Amino acid sequence: MNDERMQVLQMVASGQVTAEEGGFLLAALDHDGAPAAGGDAVAAQGRPRYLRVMVTEHGEHGKKVNVRVPIQLLRAGVKLGTMLPDQAKDKVNDALRQKGAAFDISGLKAEDLDLLLEHLDDLTVDVEGDKSSTVRFSVER
């Protein structure tokens, strides 16, 4: 048994994650090593239905966030964003810049979301700050 699987099992045993979340993490680990038939993971498994974001803090308390966002909601948001007046887009872009995210929402298109989801099959980001945390993004079909 590899270290990552053992770590997930220990997190379940200590109550840091539920058994369901542990199963999700184990399935994601299994998916990492299994190539999709035909070479295209998205085509082989169908269209993505949910974006899952899980945040786990390492340490004593192991506080976590577990959010499952329907992809249709993201698509609707992208479509609504195209209907915003230019003045509103400028205000949103200014607010994003103030928060440190230099991003222009007027350039966001539905095709960009599809492309992002194709490449976001399983992404883990380690965050260092006051407490060390791991943020995991994955797509569920």
**What is the domain partition of the chain in residue ranges?**
1-34, 35-140
The residues, any chain, with a CB within 8 Å of residue 92's CB and separated by 6 or more, are 84, 105
Q: C-alpha distances in angstroms, 132 versus 48, 64, 66, 83?
A: 30, 12, 17, 39
Higher-pLDDT residue of 58, 74: 74
- List residues bridging with 137 in a β-sheet: 53, 123
Predicted structure pTM score: 0.52
40 band by pLDDT with thresholds 50, 70 and 90: very low
Q: What is the spatial distance between Cα 110 and Cα 78, in angstroms, rounded to a whole number?
A: 6
Instruction: Look at 36 and 59; give whichever has higher pLDDT.
Output: 59
Assign residue 51 a region: left if phi > 0, alpha if psi is -120 to 50, beta otherwise?
Answer: beta
Q: What pLDDT does residue 120 have?
A: 66
Residues ≥6 apart with Cβ < 8 Å to 55: 64, 65, 66, 133, 134, 135, 136
Question: pLDDT value at position 33?
Answer: 45
The residues with which 133 forms a beta bridge, in sequence order, are: 57, 127
Average pLDDT rounded to a whole number, residues 66-88: 85
